[in-house]
Homo-oligomer: A and B are copies of this chain.
């Protein structure tokens, strides 16, 4: 494992999962965020389940590799730290963590070469108190306390998203400029000076005492726009078109008149 590899992802344990659709949705969410190890404890409708395959959106390799266990405790073998997601109060003295706090520890374990686990209870009853007693803590997704109604598919997406957010660094902002790159400072400055020359000619940068602050006010948003080389060409073209408009219009007018005359001659 190199430094660039993501840490070992957690295993996902579904306890008493009832609907095949939910198992398929969890597999799809696992695949989206790079998790692979699915363990089913007492799946209600047996295994394999055609409904799970029907809704997994092609994440079949997760379902193919899923292992089935009779008891939740058997499904936890080989795992170090194990958290369960639950909204219900189990009245047990277990730490309750945000997804962020729990996944931060699971990522830490994964970087150290250990496999952690995340247990999801059944859709209807959640986890039993016996199941909860096996665990290191409860993960609860913070939401509006007046309305928390998340199904297995939704809560698994949030948890796996949070794992990947912490596990794999992603650039927070990128700008895809297509074929052309960001304009270099010389191109940008050339454009600014072109624009300001024309604004001086037009008497816009007036009075002189305010000229510098007006120029800063014009340059600041154009800097923020992160103009590409192509953008700079486009904007220089716009400045040229606007300043040359009287000449160009006169030239076009002259051409049209000439064309009209020629047409008149041809007709006459």
Chain A, range 140-185, C-beta contacts under 8 Å to B: 141-144, 147-150, 153-154, 157-158, 161, 164-165, 168, 170-178
Stretch in A87-95, A198-206, A256-264 touching the partner: A87-95
With A28-B149, A143-B164, A157-B154 already in contact, the answer to whether A97 and B34 are too (CB < 8 A) is: no
A135 within 8 A of B: no
Question: A157-B154, A158-B157 known; A147 and B31 CB under 8 Å?
Answer: yes
Contacting pair B149 A58 (CB below 8 A):
yes
Tell me the bound Cα distance from A96 to B147 in angstroms.
Answer: 32
A96, B100: Cα distance in complex, Å = 23
Asked if A40 is at the interface of the complex by the 8 Å CB criterion, the answer is: no
In the assembled complex, the CB of A63 is this many whole angstroms from the nearest CB of chain B, namely: 13
The 8 A CB mask of A44-84 against B (1 = contact, 0 = none) is 00000000000001110000000000000000000000000
Interface residues of A in 187-212 (CB under 8 A from B): none
Known contacts A57-B149, A161-B161; A144/B174 CB under 8 A: no
Q: What are the residues of chain B within 8 A of A177 when measuring CB–CB?
A: 93
Judge whether B228 and A149 touch: CB under 8 Å.
Answer: no
Using known A-B contacts A154-B29, A176-B89, determine if residue A34 contacts B144 with beta carbons closer than 8 Å: yes
Enumerate A82-136 residues with CB–CB distance to B below 8 Å: 89, 91-98, 100-101
* Chain B residues closer than 8 Å to A172, beta-carbon distance: 97-98, 100-101
Residue with the greatest number of chain B CB neighbours at <10 A, chosen from A57, A97, A176:
A176
Residues in B whose Cβ lies below 8 Å from that of A164: 142-144
Residues of B within 8 A of A89 (CB): 176
In the complex, are the beta carbons of B173 and A98 less than 8 A apart? yes
A92, A153, A172: most-surrounded residue (chain B CB, <10 A)? A172
Residue in B57, B93, B161, B171 whose CB lies within 8 Å of A141:
B161
Query: In the complex, what residue of chain B is closest to A142 when comparing beta carbons?
Result: B170
* Bound: A205/B101 CA distance, A: 37
* Residue of A33, A89, A149, A157 with most chain B CB atoms under a 10 A cut-off: A157
In whole Å, how far is A182's beta carbon from the nearest beta carbon of chain B? 10
Residue numbers in B under 8 Å from A149 (CB-CB): 28, 31-32, 57-59
For the complex with contacts A29-B154, A96-B173, A143-B164, 19 further pairs of A-B residues with Cβ separation under 8 Å are A31-B149, A32-B147, A32-B149, A33-B143, A34-B143, A34-B144, A93-B176, A93-B178, A95-B174, A98-B170, A98-B172, A98-B173, A101-B172, A142-B165, A142-B170, A143-B161, A154-B154, A154-B157, A158-B161
